[in-house]
Amino acid sequence: MRDGPTILHVDLDSFYASVEQLRNPRLRGRPVAVGKGVVLAASYEAKAFGVGSGMPGRRARQLCPGLVFVDGHFDEYLELSERVFALCHHFTPLVEQISIDEAFLDVSGSVHIFGAAPEIAGIIKKRVRDEIGLVVSVGVARTKFLAKIASATSKPDGLLHVPPETELDFLHALPVRAMWGVGPATERALLAMGIETVRDIATTERRVLQRHFGPAAGAHLHALAWNRDPRAVQTVHRARSVSSQSAFGRGGRNPELRRTVLLELADRVSSRLRKKDWAARTVGVRVRFDDMQAITRRT
């Protein structure tokens, strides 16, 4: 039986920019943006000036005159990501990597070896910093949903443990935009309804949310507002496919950013295919919009 929360969300802080600062020590402590005409990623030093993903380069330079733009090195990002999450496998076989820079861990079978989940989180943070040179933030909670929110809340270089007896107080005090899956469009719709905090979502009747957001999405929002998330950490079995994904953030309407990200995704997938000595038979693209609806096209 579990003695406490055992789900960890491990998230590499400002990953692309941090790798660039790692590979070039002269960039450490300086505001850095990865990209060319559009910012794909920004260091925390740049974020302090308001620079963010999807921002046009000209605007980023206006906000931060000392900003250094660098090209991305996606093969190195992939290699370092694999090293970080291979390290996580030392603590549990239950590692679900959901993107190049974040993963869920279920350490319920490891606490008798390494200590309680927050102790394991601290060890992982230290080893990633000491052995790889990168910084991670870790959320520890009873559910995947809350662990992800905890890691985001603790950034940068944070570790936040949310005990079961405090989880609703912690969750309900947050603004609606903190919820996983609430993008700009959903946030605007919620605010228009007078719903500003997660507590407001929780105390709104589910049928009201379903009427505005659809039966499935409305019920999902209401359940998450009460931290009802039964999803287990799923070990990703390597299928006969290769994929990569990226989020646009608020810059998704920018055609230059879309082209740049698509090329980078294609480059990552091609690199992985070459490493496996595989040839592709079908190419697919899946796009999820800020209202959580998705479309898929294959050829």
Active site residue 102: yes
Output phi, psi for 51, to 5 deg.
Answer: -75, 135
| Distances in whole angstroms, Cα of residue 170 to Cα of each of 150, 165, 175, 261 | 9, 10, 11, 35
Name the residue among 82, 95, 80 with its Cα closest to residue 237. Answer: 95
Choose the catalytic residue: 20, 96, 102, 167. 102
**Could you give the CA distance from residue 60 to residue 107 in angstroms, rounded to a whole number?**
41
Name the residue among 171, 122, 121 with its Cα closest to residue 146. Answer: 171
Name the residue among 256, 26, 63 with its Cα closest to residue 42. Answer: 63
Please tell me the total number of residues recorded for the chain in this structure: 299
- Active site members: 102
